[in-house]
Structures are given as structure tokens and as C-alpha cells.
């Protein structure tokens, strides 16, 4: 365990960064990504974090205004009070009395861990247990205005070298677009993500997706319906993957034990941080369940941490770790560039990247500094 270092201050930056193209899912359409970027200042140095909560509580119960409030008013006082006993490993215990708010806690853990690792000269990948120097990349495709537009988008991403394509689906937008992509591009690695848009009553309709030889169907049913997912899994040939349902290593173990999934999407923000994400990976690997790294429209900060996580041995499927140009005209950090369908794992201390000061200043709409008492 690293030596502790007291926090001296934390800066909260609300940033608004334009997306290259609008990204539509069943939750709505985003043309600008609003995110919360954290800079923790400690006795040993600074670290950066990113909160993946969205503006509205549609993907999960968490949302950006609430995350910022709980960080400033409830989490930081506890971290400041920990003094030199604060480490990334100890952070979850220090904050345990505050229920939930995993995305807010994950952002702080990321920043504290980054500060520790920068001070020690250790990379995020080395700390988490990475075994690869580069990771295979997939791309997530939102819901465009037409099937023709979808096919054009997929073709563009395949030409860029992506090794897997994920299509967002919802009732009324599922069989036809999947069929069109499969017929046009043959045996590409193809999967779909429903973001909990269906119910068990749709089982027969979803079974029609078996014909397309998909890698997986992601989160078809509501997040709290593990039993329903187990029943659905027994009726489909296509493997079921859980996303929103998996909130901890304990829940992952339960989902696997009841047969609710055979693949897990790991998102550090959703499970409370990268250290818990490693534990989810370990549980799944021990059970022979494949994992892959999901994305939440992160800037280069979150992308650096995700690429490091995706380099662990159990991440055997390409994740949503797309290149910077997939989302941003200009990333907050130096861009992540795709080479032969892969992204390099950063090797510098900590995250190995940090925000460009000019871009951070230009895109910050609100900056707040919270000093230690």
C-alpha cells in the first residue's frame, strides 16, 4: 500500500466539449459532452480524475449536479479529515458511510490514485496489473437517422481499423439495422447494446437476434432484474452481457452464479472506482467469464485509465476504448490515436496524460476550488 498524503485542496472543473457528431441512444442525443474534471492537490503532488455521471439521471440514478454536490459537501470533508491516512486503497473505507454515489467516489479515487502513482513514478497500468502494451479497440455506434446512415457509419469505422462494432438498439430499431450491417459487412465482430430498453415479454423478439451470430447482447432488461436476465439467457443462443446491473464485484459474482450473464462490461465509474473494477475483473476471470471495458464518453483522462484497465489479462474482448477522434475535434489531453485497431497503454507515471491547460481553460464553464479546512 502506498504511503498516505493529506489533501490540501481539490479543484472542480465543469467542462463542455463539443462532440464530432451527435451521439444518440435510447437516453437521448448529445452533441456536447458536459463532464466534471477533478484536480486533487496533495502533500506529495497533484492528480487528475474524471466523473462519468451524465447531465440527467437516465443511464443511472447519478447525474452531474448531484455528483458535484456530494463530492464538495459530503465526500471531501471525509477525505480532508483522513489527513495523512488517506490512500487510494483506503479511500473506499473512508467514504463508506456515504451510501451510493459510486461515480462521484470513483472520480475521487482516480485522482488520488493518479497523484500517488505520479509521486512514485508508477503507471496506472502497472498498478492495476496490465499485461499488454496495447489493447484491441471497438467502437460504439449510436442510433442515426436511417439504416443507410448506420451502414455508412459502420463502414467508416471499419475502414479506420476498429476490431469490433457495437450497435445501440431499442424497440423499433433492432432487427432491421442489425440485419443490414451483418449483410453488408459479413463476419465482422458485431454486438448490440439495449441499455435496458426491453422486458422479459420481448424474449421471442430478442431471440430473432440469434440469427445474426452476435458476440453478445448487452443489458437487454432493467438493471435490477437478474432473474429475468437468467431466464432470458436460457432462451437465447446469443451470450448475454450485463452493464448497468453490475455495480460491484459482489453483484458480479451473484449475477454469474444465477446464470444472468456469461460476459460482463466493466465500467469503473459504475462500480465505484478502478480498484473495484479490478476486483470485478478478478471475480469474472476466476469464473471463466469474459470481460471488456465499456465507455462513458470520457475525455483523454478517463480514456487513459480505461486503456490501462483493458490491458488486464481477463479483458479478452475489444472494449469501447475508441480513439479520441471518434468523439472529439480536439481532446482535453493529447489524443489517443488508433494504430492497426489498437490503442497504446500509457507508460508515464500515473495516468500518463494530463489536460492541456489552454483547452481546460477554454472549455471550463465553472471552476470551483475546495481547500482543506
Domain ranges of the chain: 7-121+357-371, 126-344
CB-based burial label for 357 (10 Å; 0-12, 13-18, 19+): exposed
Active site residues: 168, 267
Helix (H, G, I), strand (E, B) or coil at 251: helix
Cα distances from 171 to residues 29, 175, 196, in angstroms, run 17, 9, 11
In sequence order, what are the residues at sequence separation of 6 or more whose Cβ sits closer than 8 angstroms to the Cβ of residue 137? 162, 163, 164, 318, 319, 321, 322, 323, 338, 341, 342, 343
What does the pLDDT read at residue 27?
Answer: 65
* Cα–Cα distance measured from residue 196 to residue 265, given in angstroms and rounded to the nearest whole number: 14
CATH for the stretch 126-344: 3.20.20.120
What does the pLDDT read at residue 24?
Answer: 67
* Cα–Cα distance measured from residue 233 to residue 237, given in angstroms and rounded to the nearest whole number: 8
Domain 7-121+357-371 -> CATH class: alpha beta
DSSP state for residue 236 in the 8-state scheme: -
10-residue block means of pLDDT along the chain (373 residues)? 83 94 69 94 96 93 96 97 94 97 98 97 98 97 94 96 97 97 97 97 98 98 97 98 98 98 98 98 98 95 98 97 91 96 97 97 96 93
Signed CA dihedral, 305, 311, 345, 322: sign only: negative
- CB count within 10 Å of CB 262 equals 19
**What's the pTM value of the predicted model, to 2 decimals?**
0.95
CB-based burial label for 225 (10 Å; 0-12, 13-18, 19+): middle
Phi-psi region of 352 (alpha: psi -120 to 50; beta: other; left: phi over 0): left
CB-based burial label for 191 (10 Å; 0-12, 13-18, 19+): buried
Amino acid at each position: 500500500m502506498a504511503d498516505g498524503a493529506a489533501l490540501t485542496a481539490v479543484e472542480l472543473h465543469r467542462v463542455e466539449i463539443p462532440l464530432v457528431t451527435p451521439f444518440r441512444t435510447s437516453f437521448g442525443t448529445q452533441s456536447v459532452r458536459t463532464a466534471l474534471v477533478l484536480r486533487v492537490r496533495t502533500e506529495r503532488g497533484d492528480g487528475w480524475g474524471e466523473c462519468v455521471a451524465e447531465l440527467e439521471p437516465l443511464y443511472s440514478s447519478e447525474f452531474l449536479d448531484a455528483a458535484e454536490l456530494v463530492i464538495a459537501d459530503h465526500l471531501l470533508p471525509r477525505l480532508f479529515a483522513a489527513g495523512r491516512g488517506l490512500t487510494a486503497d483506503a479511500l473506499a473505507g473512508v467514504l463508506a458511510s456515504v451510501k451510493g454515489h459510486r461515480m462521484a467516489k470513483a472520480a475521487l479515487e482516480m485522482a488520488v490514485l493518479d497523484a500517488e502513482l505520479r509521486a512514485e513514478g508508477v503507471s496506472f497500468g502497472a498498478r492495476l496489473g496490465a499485461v499488454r502494451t496495447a489493447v484491441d479497440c471497438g467502437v460504439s455506434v449510436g442510433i442515426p437517422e436511417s439504416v443507410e446512415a448506420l451502414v455508412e457509419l459502420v463502414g467508416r469505422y471499419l475502414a479506420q481499423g476498429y476490431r469490433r462494432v457495437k450497435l445501440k438498439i431499442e424497440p423499433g430499431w433492432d432487427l432491421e439495422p442489425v440485419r443490414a450491417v451483418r449483410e453488408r459487412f459479413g463476419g465482422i465482430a458485431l454486438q448490440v447494446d439495449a441499455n435496458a430498453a426491453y422486458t422479459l415479454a420481448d424474449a421471442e423478439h430478442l431471440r430473432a437476434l440469434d440469427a445474426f451470430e452476435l458476440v453478445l447482447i448487452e443489458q437487454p432488461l432493467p438493471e435490477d432484474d437478474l432473474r429475468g436476465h437468467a431466464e432470458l439467457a436460457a432462451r437465447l443462443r446469443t451470450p448475454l452481457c450485463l452493464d448497468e446491473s453490475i455495480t460491484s464485484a459482489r453483484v458480479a459474482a451473484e449475477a454469474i452464479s444465477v446464470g444472468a450473464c456469461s460476459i460482463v462490461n466493466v465500467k469503473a465509474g459504475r462500480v465505484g472506482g478502478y480498484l473495484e473494477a479490478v476486483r470485478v475483473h478478478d471475480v469474472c476471470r476466476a469464473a471463466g467469464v469474459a470481460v471488456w471495458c465499456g465507455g462513458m464518453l470520457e475525455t483523454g483522462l478517463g480514456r487513459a485509465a480505461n486503456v490501462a484497465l483493458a490491458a488486464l489479462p481477463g479483458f479478452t474482448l475489444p472494449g469501447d476504448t475508441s480513439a479520441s477522434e471518434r468523439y472529439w475535434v480536439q481532446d482535453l489531453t493529447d489524443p489517443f490515436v488508433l494504430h492497426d485497431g489498437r490503442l497504446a497503454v500509457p507508460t508515464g507515471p500515473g495516468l500518463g496524460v494530463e489536460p492541456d491547460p489552454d483547452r481546460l481553460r477554454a472549455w471550463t464553464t465553472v471552476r470551483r476550488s475546495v481547500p482543506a479546512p
